[in-house]
Structure 1
Amino acid sequence: MSASTDYLTESVAETARALGSVEGHLDERGFSSVLKRVLEANPPEPNLSLEWELAPRLRGWHGRLGGFDLALADGERIDSVVELKWSGQKDPDIRACAWDAIKLALTDAEQRSASSFMLAGAPQRIFADELGGGALFKDGFWPSYGVFDDFAKEFAFWKQDVKTHPAAAPFSFETKLISTARFVRPGIHEEWELRLVKVSALERIVDFTFDDLTQKYRLTYGEEGFDDAD
């Protein structure tokens, strides 16, 4: 594994311990703050720097895409990018990870980062519920059109609610569970878990188009997509 992968893997257990002492309501922003404190207290190797909300530039995405929650940079080279998800009161499931999975798979396919990860915190029952997004946080192979279809309701909402949306993705991608750590939150009587998964593109990039009639993304056959990064 790379130095940044080792660093992120080691940080999962430390972050879980820190989360186990946080009382009261915690949302994704609070989760990000806890992670930031842990990482800044245990910085990576001198050649790596922590970057927050690093703005991506993806050819296969329309509009201005939101920044990566976390990145590890080696000078001007992006070594790893990480997207965060948290099971909060407003969004108890983690189905929104589908957006991140497609974004990270495209990032990997366009070679914008050496490695791409998702890090999520949720009760164990959420990870066990494949319909709640948990399936993307274990080892698996995913055709992108299948993810667009399985999470069609979410992608249709995002298509209308935000000005940015995917126009391409690798034909398929892989998720690999890298690290996991369990913890119990004060006053909450169920086990929680942090999971770190790596997202890797498997095949070439293909174009997708949103069909207004079916309210789903579909493959745009006959087009080559974006084969090479700038």
Structure 2
Amino acid sequence: MRIDIITCLPRLLDSPFSDSILQRAQKKGLVEVNIHDLRKYSTDKHQKIDDYAFGGGAGMVMMIEPIANCIRDLQSKRAYDEVIYMSPDGEQFTQSIANQLSMYKNIIILCGHYKGVDERVRQHFITREISIGDYVLSGGELAAAVVSDAIIRLLPGVLSDETSALTDSFQDDLVAPPVYTRPADFEGMVVPDILLSGHEKKIDDWRFDQAVKRTKKRRPNLLK
């Protein structure tokens, strides 16, 4: 997989992709993440990428020309399955969407900033708009990192135990059940006996039951 992220603040994305699972995935050649500085695609001598909104109003708007130049340059070299714009009013990001995107080969993610992008970008260059929640961030960079993380960890070979991702919360419309580790008894706080029984079928049934109970209590909207 290849993920190309377009941003006017590339350094914001240095850390998320330089540690832990995302770093290992890149070193193993399972994913290629490229960060593109939008200012390099500006035709202005000062590398300007934003301007005042037509009609007035507070805030600046990201210009269409640098964005179009960058997207067209990338698309001239390969075909992309999606050109995603991170936007507060996009479709809500879910595990199901992450699963779908993890099957793609090439993805572009455009990070918004200021008051957003010129509407013509959304109309003519973007194929999908995604939001990570009903709130506003300073820019789309952190949201792009969230989406990328959720996608990359699903790629075969990224996690040491590939079944781990399949048992995460939301994969089956349930949140994950409680988990425990050693010691089995800490200051009188004990692990449920069933988990120490070694009876795999009973343990699976217990975990499913706990997942349903926890989902009913915490996220009842997920239950079908």
TM-score (norm 1): 0.32
Highest Rg: 1 or 2?
2
TM-score (norm 2): 0.33
Larger strand proportion of the pair:
1
